[in-house]
Chain A
């Protein structure tokens, strides 16, 4: 066998391993969660109840909480991640560049329990005092801010998630941004564009990297367990405003899994939640790929 053939076979084998793992995950999630779908059907995802005493499980609030916190987190993180990437690639003096990039990468690699504790003890009280209470006081007539805030709620969780995912998204954007051929920028400058206009063009050039970074960040935000469990309030109610306490699927799993085996249907219910999370992730990813393709074709 030629070395090229060996290389090709190895790669194919590795691809199949990854594919096999994904399929195995789906199968085990489906098999384990099967009893709860058999018993409750779609009520399992359309009801709002978590009552182990009566073995009643309906995960709608956690699904909504996951979508709300991760969407808001990505919304907050997008401008931050793009600015950080452009700042470190374009504006900061070269000798500080490495420092800023290292700090940003370090932030991405911090264990989430550290973010969780920091969020609980430092971020939550500060947000409450200086942002949530004023927002509620002056803009409380808007339904989004209508609940009298306590420090731990969906909003705090979203902000914490945003902080956690900025380094992820920004490092991908940054790599793409620094890979822009220098002659393009020089050409732009040479026709008299200002720095701001050049940056605008460059950002347009790395659009697909921005999408990729944000989708990766969204995945992390949707799947975050411990950090969210510490700051989301963990109340199993349908949220009516951003300042309501809520739940997310991962934080529900983090909270309930240790004693789940003491019940007949809680393990299937938690796996069912994980399966739903997987499906949502899949849908979002396909949608994302479709979007990126469209953007690429257009440019």
Chain B
């Protein structure tokens, strides 16, 4: 038995090996002819640029970087480390990074400091959305209607029960229980909180005066014992899932990944909307008029003016992620790479096949801000 089986095994192994190597050769042949067909220009520059910053931007940045690395056959390598917006900006200021990714743009005083030292450009690179989620056992996803003022009052601790008349009034068809609302929020400093609290500050004067808007705020609802802090989107998602009768806010992709119920939110024109391609695009287009140029100060525009955008279809809590570049670099190769890469990101990179799930592409009008800004890059 043993003797007769051995040759058979050897034959099988040999066949498999031959097939495998043949297919590999064939694949590489196909690949090389394909890349030969697509690359028209001979490579001129090559090198590495290093960036770091917003964690929110990270998955999309990695996708763009690896796609572009492939497209240029390794000619251009873009490294991005997700260390947080604040840390990214700080490291960029120290001069150890070629670019920073950030949820909020530079603060006014830091912008001014850069401007005096040769200039800065900052432009939106992708859009994200924040969705209100809840855990009301008897209410389906996408049915609960809320307004910004009500959400603000919940996080202020003024609306404490689900059957509060102000919530009932908006949802006459829902059976809302007399249960305490547990308000879940991010415990780590995050751009998501910055945008969410900017929205609350915009729609509620009381929120603006009492709490304000930042990466981390002091949540009034916590003092009443009805708040829960979750670390990261995953922490908030888990807290909402585990606490019946809770409410929270997460980046939209997480809500769908974890299967959380979403709430409709009333936009400025009075319609109840969820974040979709259409409502996000509508909001972005409504804002084009007020957006600054890439070399201008964005700190008083985003996110405080970009939330609660006008427009019948507009979704009110959208967030832009920014790329921050110096205008002047010592190394001409860096300038060329940054220009080439971000030009690609703002054009080809915004196409559906290059946009990671959970992000929304920039409308061409908004992408143009970055494209114009890239023209300002130069060598010392």
Residues of chain A touching chain B, judged by Cβ–Cβ distance below 8 Å, are: 49-54, 56, 120-121, 124-125, 128, 147, 150-152, 229-230, 233-237, 244-245, 251, 254-263
Contacts and interface: CB of A to CB of B under 8 A. Distances in A.
Q: Is the interface of B mostly helix, strand, loop or mixed?
A: loop
A237 B231 CA distance: 17
B90 to A, nearest CB: 4
B216 interface: yes
B286 interface: no
Given A230-B235, A236-B222, A259 B229 contact: no
A256 B189 contact: yes
Contact of B215 (A229, A233, A245, A259): A259
Contact of B107 (A56, A121, A152, A262): A262
A229 B187 contact: yes
A255 B228 CA distance: 14
B97 interface: no
B253 interface: no
29 contacts: A51-B217, A52-B217, A53-B212, A120-B238, A121-B238, A124-B242, A125-B242, A128-B242, A229-B188, A230-B235, A234-B187, A234-B230, A235-B229, A236-B218, A237-B222, A244-B225, A245-B227, A245-B228, A255-B189, A255-B231, A259-B86, A259-B188, A259-B190, A261-B86, A261-B87, A262-B85, A262-B90, A262-B107, A262-B215
Interface residues of B, number: 35
Contact of A51 (B218, B227, B235): B218
Contacts of A54: 212, 218
B187 A255 contact: yes
A235 to B, nearest CB: 5
Interface string B203-224: 0000000011111111000110
B349 to A, nearest CB: 25
B60 interface: no
A150 to B, nearest CB: 5
A152 B239 contact: yes
B229 A233 contact: yes
B147 interface: no
A51 B222 CA distance: 12
A140 to B, nearest CB: 14
B218 A259 contact: no
B92 to A, nearest CB: 11
B182 interface: yes
A145 to B, nearest CB: 15
A53 B214 contact: yes
A254 B216 CA distance: 13
Contacts of B242: 124-125, 128, 150-152
Given A229-B187, A234-B187, A258-B189, A147 B218 contact: no
Given A120-B238, A150-B182, A235-B222, A258 B83 contact: yes
Given A50-B216, A53-B214, A152-B239, A258 B228 contact: no
B77 interface: no
B248 interface: no
B55 interface: yes
A235 B239 CA distance: 13
Interface string B174-192: 0000000010000111100
Given A254-B231, A259-B87, A262-B86, A53 B213 contact: yes
A241 B216 CA distance: 25
B79 interface: no
B252 interface: no
Contacts of B218: 49-51, 53-54, 56, 236
Interface in B107-137: 107
A256 B229 contact: no
B39 to A, nearest CB: 39
Interface string B81-99: 0011111011000000000
B243 interface: yes
B215 to A, nearest CB: 4
Contacts of B212: 53-54
B217 A258 contact: no
B228 A260 contact: no
A86 to B, nearest CB: 36
A263 B90 CA distance: 10
